Amino acid sequence: MHRLQVPMPNALPFAIGTFDSIGPMSRAPFPHRHTFHEIVHVTGGTGLHVVDLGRFPLRPPNLCFIAPGQVHHWEDVTGLEGRVILFTDDFLVDHPADRHVLRTLSRRSWLDLSGEAAEETARLVAELDGEYRSGATGFHSVLRALLHVLVVRAARLPAPRSPVEAPTPPPLPDGPPHSRPGSVAADFVTLMGTPEGALQSVRSCADHLGVSVSYLSEVVKAETGRTPGELIRQTRVHEAKRLLLRTELTVRQVAGRVGFKDPAYFCRFFRRETGASPGDFRRGGGDIHHDHRLESIAGPASPA
């Protein structure tokens, strides 16, 4: 499991660069997961990119979307060129609906680009890279806008080709006969990508999906590397951050919006998860300096 290095609460949870500048983990030949979103724009190279159980031959230019928790690696790759875009859900504060779009794109995963789509994608990725490097005043807002355009336009592209090999895994033994583990986990992640996800409990999610709590916990952990409880907490924090930064709601009102009846408990929860109080986070939310840009993917904390 690899994490994006965010050195302080108000640092920008976003990075873009070439495969070389991002670091060797950007082209890792072994299966691994990330806790962040990854968009890969491949402009050169041969070999395979393996996402979950799909094996995709490189036919540049390509665009690939990898959601948090998806397993992927590169296989027999030579001459790999292009850029890698890394960001967390927190970066989507201005466009929270993009979380759902990104997870939908991750199920399509690998897109072949041609003609106008290839040129448009190359321009957008180059603009993202240039804006990130410039660190000019307001660059974080421009990055969010450009990323939003890239995501929305990618969602308009036609369905991708089928992978070389995509076998269907057998269901877990204690799962309902009508559900596959991957689909249950995907539906759970989709639910977490909505504002309503912040109000859910593990049991309410299991009831909504028609499975037991134990089964939901097992398949979500297997598919994402994290427990349902961890993902629910992440969803609550993300929605709380969005409300603190983009609305005039009081801390008490924000607490209620994300499922906390006790504002004091919400403040303790928020500080534990982010390292800052809700008030400090709100006051410092606009103070994002270009020196806080991220450099690379962190090394593994544990095997994937």
Write out the H or E segment, with its range, that includes residue 59: none
Domain total of the chain: 2
49 contacts 72 by C-beta, under 8 angstroms: yes
Residue 1 domain-assigned?
Answer: no
Instruction: Give the tokens for residue 181.
Output: 């583990």
| Predicted local confidence at residue 54, as pLDDT | 86
Query: Does one domain contain both 149 and 41?
Result: yes
Name the residue among 82, 197, 190 with its Cα closest to residue 129: 82
Q: CATH code at 246? A: 1.10.10.60
pLDDT tens, 38-94? 999 999 999 999 998 788 999 999 999 998 888 899 999 999 999 999 998 888 888
Residue 302 domain-assigned?
Answer: no
From 123, 140, 156, the end of a domain falls on: 156
Residue 7's φ and ψ, nearest 5 degrees, are -70, -20
Please give the share of the chain, as a percent, with pLDDT higher than 90: 37
Residue 229 domain-assigned?
Answer: yes
Query: Does one domain contain both 70 and 138?
Result: yes
Query: Does one domain contain both 150 and 234?
Result: no
> What is the pLDDT confidence band of residue 25, given thresholds at 50, 70 and 90?
confident
294 contacts 14 by C-beta, under 8 angstroms: yes
- Helices and strands, counts by H and E, the chain: 11, 6
Query: Does one domain contain both 23 and 149?
Result: yes
pLDDT tens, 112-149? 999 999 999 999 999 999 999 988 888 989 999 999 99
Alpha-carbon distance of 35 to 22, in angstroms, equals 16
Residue 9 domain-assigned?
Answer: no
User: Above 90 in pLDDT, residue 172?
Assistant: no
Alpha-carbon distance of 211 to 167, in angstroms, equals 24
Helix (H, G, I), strand (E, B) or coil at 72: strand
Query: Does one domain contain both 133 and 194?
Result: no
For residue 88, the enclosing domain spans: 14-156
Q: CATH code at 105? A: 2.60.120.280
User: Above 50 in pLDDT, residue 166?
Assistant: no
Query: Does one domain contain both 86 and 219?
Result: no
Decide: residue 115, CB within 10 A, 0-12 exposed, 13-18 middle, 19+ buried. Answer: exposed
Q: State pTM to two decimals.
A: 0.69
Query: Does one domain contain both 242 and 129?
Result: no
Alpha-carbon distance of 83 to 16, in angstroms, equals 7
Alpha-carbon distance of 223 to 130, in angstroms, equals 35
Residue 303 domain-assigned?
Answer: no
Q: Pick from 155-159, 172-176, 181-185 the range whose average pLDDT is largest.
A: 155-159
Residue 152 domain-assigned?
Answer: yes
Query: Does one domain contain both 77 and 130?
Result: yes
- Lowest model confidence (mean pLDDT) among 116-120, 190-194, 242-246, 272-276: 190-194
Residue 3 domain-assigned?
Answer: no
